Structure 1
């Protein structure tokens, strides 16, 4: 195998058993090449590590005005997750004002790996927004190392034309511990996402660091792994309060959805929020202000994240920026699920 940098269109054509002209047609999305041939050529390119230059991909064409939307890894972050829906809506509105349409990639399209890079070449997308998931596949890394502009939301992308935007997740945890501490709480539990989630790991580290900064002792049984959805919050509530005499006085749930599940568990156990336990969620979803009692939570500015993601990607596409890493400030919203401990 040649060094990846020395592989040429001629090499790909020979391996695929087609002419160089056919390769050129495929790169430029001509319609007189069969789908089967296109897929075979793109797989050969991927296996060989071949990276067409920007000029080769854009020869004889204008921009496609298409933006690829990719949900990375196992889809904890899918269409049913309110946070990402709101971010994507803001992204769509902003990118749409500049004449772009969205193209959603399905994991089932290519059975042999995801081949996101090959698919981006095939559809000639001008750039991609990549939404965080868990256990991110290798083909995401291959894509972000290419010359296709990519912007990540809640996923830290590294590459020549890649960047990301997310809430400052460490500050989320710091603000929660500060708030609980000022209310007199010293026995604080944490319900997080999986350890395969970048966001979850940052929030957990921020939680542990803040607990340590205040000189508090963290009970390891009070750190529970969830998945950002209601059921895991419900199960965490049952686990934390199976023995009320050894339970925390305050709980930080790193998503509102898990906080809603936790509230249901506490109600079923015959306990009360905030009389028996204070609770803070994260995201400030619309339902947070309508549950009873209304949920104290940390607001992520979803509109701003979506707009920034669109504008940053447009800068990449227009060669006005190469890499960008932006953290958005969180805001703690005080409602009725927290209370001052009696001295």
Structure 2
């Protein structure tokens, strides 16, 4: 392994000068810095992460805590896209990422304990159950933490604008002539509460009253549950003309239920999704949905977490709200 001493001998400078060049200090000339960097690259020098950790008291490693109710892991396209954006931004700042869990081999430990064990500099939390005691332990610990789609009083949160997103989606469906609008929402969370609240508030503003049977409690990213609930809605004597599903993936269950009942989309029943993942745009008919800005969500989470790590005294608690975009598809029929 190439050392700083090897580079100093090759360049004819001190080890201290080599260190300054590699760390981009300003008290050496640009010519010297360029020469040292060139030689270091040619010799195949890579800085030792353990040495850097000892010097900076940081590991340049960010923890990622992601647990969704459906146990879908990174097959959950929405969160996978958010975390991919987070990873890209973190790596651009010189950070690696480590997934946090409750197991270390056969040994069980809390999320906070695992974070400490791995020595991460901070953690981003993107999960459904923010009431989990282990999550709360991490939130109230001494590590910098940023949450995605959930607000704690003592932590910075990156939030998708679910209130405006649902309002935009319903307003579009309304303009397409629909008044009998049903909603299958996900499990209880701040995201769900905001979407459900916006659903009812927007309908009230549009002077639309719907029966309680039009609103069903489902599970995010769970096609099987959505299948059953869609059948319940279609079996109503006065059934809706349009159904909004919890997310684009779970809408597959709704589509299958509609087809199994001999109905077609959108001629017999209109549907809409949420998230705007790639799947929504390859379905036939193309799904009307609300696309969440996963790139901005992940990027902002990384930026705010790194700021909290590198400038703790200047760190402030923020709520970064990221707007989505309505994508009109072909799954909502225009009614006269």
**Per the shorter chain, which TM-score range?**
0.7 to 0.9
How many angstroms apart in 1 are the aligned matches of 2:79 and 2:68? 15
**1:50-89 alignment runs, 5 A limit:** 62-72=57-67, 74=69, 76=71, 78-89=73-84
Report deviation, 1:119: 2.6
| Superposed CA offset, 1:145-182 (max 9, x none) | 233111111222332xx211121011121112211111
- The reply to whether residue 95 of structure 1 matches residue 87 of structure 2 is no
1:324 pairs with 308, 318, 330, which one? 318
Report deviation, 1:120: 2.2
Maintained 8 Å contact 2:101/2:111: no
Report deviation, 1:72: 4.8
Maintained 8 Å contact 2:156/2:317: yes
1:190 pairs with 177, 183, 186, which one? 183
Q: TM (normalized to structure 2)?
A: 0.78
- The reply to whether residue 259 of structure 1 matches residue 254 of structure 2 is no
Maintained 8 Å contact 1:203/1:254: no
- The reply to whether residue 217 of structure 1 matches residue 209 of structure 2 is yes
Maintained 8 Å contact 1:74/1:135: no
Check 1:269–1:255 CA distance in 2 against 1; reply closer, same or farther (3 A cut).
Answer: same
**Residue 235 of structure 1: aligned partner:** 228
2:164 pairs with 171, 180, 194, which one? 171
| Structure 1: gaps spanning 5 or more residues | 1-57
How many angstroms apart in 1 are the aligned matches of 2:310 and 2:328? 41
Check 1:155–1:206 CA distance in 2 against 1; reply closer, same or farther (3 A cut).
Answer: same
Report deviation, 1:75: 5.6
| Superposed CA offset, 1:55-112 (max 9, x none) | xxx9976201111111257465622211000110110011011111111122334999
Q: TM (normalized to structure 1)?
A: 0.76
| Superposed CA offset, 1:161-207 (max 9, x none) | x2111210111211122111111111110011012x22112111111
How many angstroms apart in 1 are the aligned matches of 2:132 and 2:106? 13
Report deviation, 1:322: 2.3
How many angstroms apart in 2 are the aligned matches of 1:111 and 1:209? 49
2:110 pairs with 106, 115, 120, which one? 115
2:131 pairs with 136, 141, 162, which one? 136
- The reply to whether residue 271 of structure 1 matches residue 266 of structure 2 is no
Q: Tell me how many residue pairs correspond in the alignment.
A: 281
Larger Rg: 2
**1:152-171 alignment runs, 5 A limit:** 152-159=147-154, 162-171=155-164
How many angstroms apart in 1 are the aligned matches of 2:234 and 2:130? 31
Stretch moving more, 165-174 or 318-327:
318-327
